[in-house]
Chains A and B, each alone.
Chain A
Amino acid sequence: MRKWSCLLLAMLILAAAIPLAGCGSESKTTSGEPYKIGALFSNTGFNAPLGQPEVQTVEMMEERINKDGGINGHPVDIIWYDTGSDPAVCYDMAQKLITEDKVVAIIGPTGSGDTFKIFDLVKNSGIPLISCAAGTAITIPTATDDKRWVFQSPQTTLMIVDRLFEYLKTQNITSIALITDTAGFGADGLKTIKAEAAPDKYNLTITSAQTYDTDDSDMKTQLGKIRDSNPQAVICWGTNPGPAVIATNMSDLEMRNIPLFCSHGIAFKAFIDLAKEDANGVIFPCGKLPIVDYLPKKSDQRELLLEYRKNFEAKYGKGEANTFGGHAYDALTMVTAALENAVTETPEEMASSNDTLQAVRAKIRDYVEQKINSTGYPKTDGFVGTAGIFNMSATNHNGLANDCIVMIKIADQKWTPAE
């Protein structure tokens, strides 16, 4: 009994150590010490569909940056940890990045829950955080003292919902039915939708508000109730596979004469793979990446988006590039721009003196706040990213404008502009 329980214990410890050993990046064989940039992503857990392309993006970029000679001649080491979509794990991993790995900045986390959990930690440690989460409260209403160190690279949920509602106005749609995921992404969307549908805002009637769990496989009962409530449109908020099930269920129930709008959570090839012909006709608000081929040549984002898509798909498969990976790209390029333009201290100096490390962290924060805008990048009227053109300021740590979101319609199982 003793022998077997010892063996079992050893195997369990070994199994637990494997994921930890797999984390972090390999060391590069380039000259000198590397700049260490930290990242927190949901590689597993309910935000994994959003977090995995973010991990893939930073790994791809780390390779490219180092192949192209690094930054200021120094290689770059991106140390990322999986938060498992769990705020408690996120907190622990953030602490590790700050005190053990001594990174100069942190990119991510993927989810809003994770982000909120480390606000205080980031503020007290004096390290800049560029979150890849869309929670509106991360930088809105203003980047006050508490949020001085926090930035946000995606469009906020508020911006996305407002853009959708603007489109509904042009289609004369005033009554909507909702069907949303109970998990984080859907719950956040539902809250924002209800707030923005209020009489003093977009004044939309919500005829029915149904919910479903992420793993539910049959939403016909909820859709039956929605059909009975007679809405002019159905809005579905959630990530795969829910919206695909809903699109298919609606076709089975012959409800597709009612327009179906989804969130940007379906902006993955996986949605079309799952829903197949039932994906046709779905309209959703999103960043410009899925329809980059339709952007005019003079668009500042076009070249960047084509390049990003080409590099991502070369490594990870055709059709796989998506806006969520793009948020990690934007966050990382802001940090590398800061390192390139504002940081003169070497990694060796940062390793030997904590004061130097703190000073560098502050410099990166200042650069992102003061230079990731039209003053730092006058030729393009702001910092060009995959999500849009950023104009950060002391009060606005998101920096994106509403015109960075477009309405996309799926036709012939491909993404096309809706207007």
Chain B
Amino acid sequence: MRWMTTDLFVQSLTSGLTQGCIYALIGLGFTIIFNVTGIINFAQGEFVMLGGMLSYFLTRSAGLPVVPALLLSVLVAALVGAALYLLTIRTARRASVVSLIIITIGAAIFIRGIAGEIWGINPVSPPPFTGKHPLHVLGATILPQALWIIGITLAAAVVLHLLFSHTIIGKALRACSMNRSAASLVGIDPKTMALIAFALAAALGALGGAVVAPLSFMSYGAGVGLGLKGFVAASMGGFRSQTAVIVGGIVLGVVEQVTIAIGWGPFKSDYKEAIALVLLLLILLVRSRKLSEEERVS
């Protein structure tokens, strides 16, 4: 491979892994809301932005240390998610799913506008959790913050798994995602579950935002692009399986960076998103063929 040194390849893998974890966290948020309510929440990207902006505000302006700022940002974002559900989705609950999805788009625009008014247009970055000194691993340069991103994503995945399989609330959420009417028949209130889903998804998004902002400078408009990437990650997971979403997010991140590293023919930085989306289409095609084959067999 004349056009890519091993060092460059390893660098693209580590950068891709870091980016991919963020996409995975956002994708998990999409998946949770979709599973429990059947709605695709296009304001998911804005929760990521809020996480980043709030953690910046709390650490730089209010002078809080990193951990309280992180927890507070996630908490506030969860409250915003809950408010979003209560004020819009719950209020318009008799509307069709498509209308509700459009409402989330409107909410996203609203949140973005408010953020722009409060914090201005300039990108900002909160301080990194444990400093800026880069580490050299297998020929690639990785910042400590990137390790935090990967670690926190894994931790979040484990916590979610435990939540869904070992707690009552988690099982209730899963029940709702399987069959909403059956769940309400056994005493689970789908409205409460939806509220929890929104708050949880917002918290996940904000966590991603707060942990990536020290690396990548968040601004009021950053939610659009990130939300889109998270949506792709969620699609790769079929909006169902959490493991698939995480893998999908990481694959998306890595494919983007490797495309840049190849830098030959159509595999250039300009087309990195297109390459990743083509890959997504292929995966979805293969999956739908497998599903229809299974149907034929049964």
Contact = CB atoms under 8 A, between A and B. Distances in A.
Interface residues of A, number: 36
Contacts of B165: none
A240 interface: yes
A222 interface: yes
A15 B110 CA distance: 9
Contact of B268 (A211, A252, A254, A273): A211
B68 interface: no
Contact of B92 (A8, A216, A217, A253): A8
Contacts, number: 91
Interface in A41-63: 44, 48-49, 52
Interface in A64-83: none
B219 A210 contact: no
A7 to B, nearest CB: 9
Contacts of B212: 217
B160 interface: no
B269 A224 contact: no
Given A218-B19, A245-B216, A253-B141, A224 B225 contact: no
Contact of A228 (B5, B106, B122, B216): B5
A332 B104 CA distance: 41
Interface in B140-169: 141, 143
A252 B143 contact: yes
Given A210-B269, A220-B11, A4 B141 contact: no
B8 A217 contact: no
Given A215-B225, A228-B5, A221 B134 contact: no
Interface residues on B, range: 35 or more
A333 to B, nearest CB: 26
B287 to A, nearest CB: 28
The B interface, classified by DSSP as helix, strand, loop or mixed, is helix
A327 to B, nearest CB: 18
B260 A274 contact: no
B186 to A, nearest CB: 28
A224 B219 contact: no
Contacts of A218: 15, 18-19, 215-216, 257
B265 to A, nearest CB: 14
Given A222-B269, A224-B261, A217 B110 contact: no
Given A1-B94, A241-B123, A221 B261 contact: yes
B269 to A, nearest CB: 5
B242 interface: no
B8 A224 contact: yes
A82 to B, nearest CB: 12
A228 B92 contact: no
Interface of B: 5, 7-8, 11-12, 15, 18-19, 91-92, 94-95, 103, 106, 110, 116, 121-125, 132, 134, 141, 143, 212, 215-217, 219, 221-222, 225-226, 257, 260-261, 263, 268-270, 273
Interface of A: 1, 4-5, 8, 12, 15, 44, 48-49, 52, 182, 210-213, 215-218, 220-222, 224-225, 228, 240-241, 244-245, 252-254, 268, 270, 273-274
Given A15-B106, A221-B11, 6 more contacts: A8-B103, A48-B121, A218-B15, A221-B261, A245-B217, A252-B141
26 contacts: A4-B91, A4-B94, A4-B95, A48-B121, A210-B263, A211-B269, A213-B273, A215-B221, A215-B225, A215-B226, A217-B215, A217-B217, A221-B15, A224-B8, A224-B12, A224-B261, A225-B8, A225-B261, A240-B122, A240-B123, A241-B123, A244-B123, A252-B141, A253-B134, A268-B122, A273-B122
